[in-house]
Amino acid sequence: MKRFVIIGLGNFGAGVAETLFARGHEVVAIDTNEHAVDRIASHVSRAAVGDARDRSVLEEIGARQANAGVISTGDDLTASILAMLALKDLQVDEIYVKVISTDHARIMEKLGATETIFPERESAVRLGTRITSHAILNYVRLGPGFSIQEMAVPEPWIGKSMRDLELRRRHNITVIAVHDVLLDRMVPVPDPDAPLKDSDTLLIAGADADLEYASKIGSE
């Protein structure tokens, strides 16, 4: 069991807190809004009303040397920065920060954030990717120009195996899992000799340009 500190209990912070607690971890949550704290209290190990910019407040609720912290203070940039510094002072090594802009992300990265999360932008990118190609079902960005995408099996691939298709050699993409939609079963290490079915979807990793080309196969 790990200990996590969640600062800010809006939709994002509360969602992270509930998920971590449901997975069996110790979760300490803090917000200046009493109603937000009351809503989350039964879904975390400890919930407190307080100002997370104050190191002593965080230490009092058990933040020192927690395994990780999550900062989700909305559009209050100052609160985000000061909460980051307070967590650093308390020797929390992994700190994840919800940001509201690229400038916000740059500042937090300079301060040593483990990762910055920009939910609105990431959601916009996923939606933009999906609505420009009906073959794409889900999209997860891995880095600049690279992603994992879930796509329906193109019609020309149905009945063929991945060994037959030679996707890595021909298209420079890698199938990392096959999802049988009818059985709702995910196969993370797919059999290279199993024929693909029209009820399958593929989780494929690669460069965005290569994935876009693959998604268009059989659509014209």
Residues in the chain: 220
pLDDT of residue 19: 92
The residues, any chain, with a CB within 8 Å of residue 105's CB and separated by 6 or more, are: 97, 99, 116, 118
Cβ pair 44, 27 in contact under 8 A: yes
Between 125 and 168, the higher pLDDT residue: 168
Find out whether 176 and 203 touch, Cβ atoms under 8 Å: yes
Closest CA to 117 of 12, 6, 214: 12
**pLDDT reading at 58 higher than 80:** yes
Tell me how far apart the alpha carbons of residues 153 and 161 are, in angstroms, rounded to a whole number.
11
Burial state string for 21-34 with b = 16 or more CB within 10 A and e = fewer than 16: beeebbbbbbbbee
Q: Which residue ranges form the domains of the chain, and what is each CATH number?
A: 3-117 (3.40.50.720), 122-215 (3.30.70.1450)
Neighbours of 219 (CB within 10 A): 10
- E strand or H helix that includes residue 173: strand 173-180
Answer yes or no: is pLDDT of 72 > 90: yes
* pLDDT of 125 above 60: no
* Beta partners for residue 203, in sequence order: 150, 177
Angstrom distance (rounded) from CA 171 to CA 143? 19
How confident is the model over 90-111, as pLDDT tens digits?
999 899 999 988 899 999 999 9
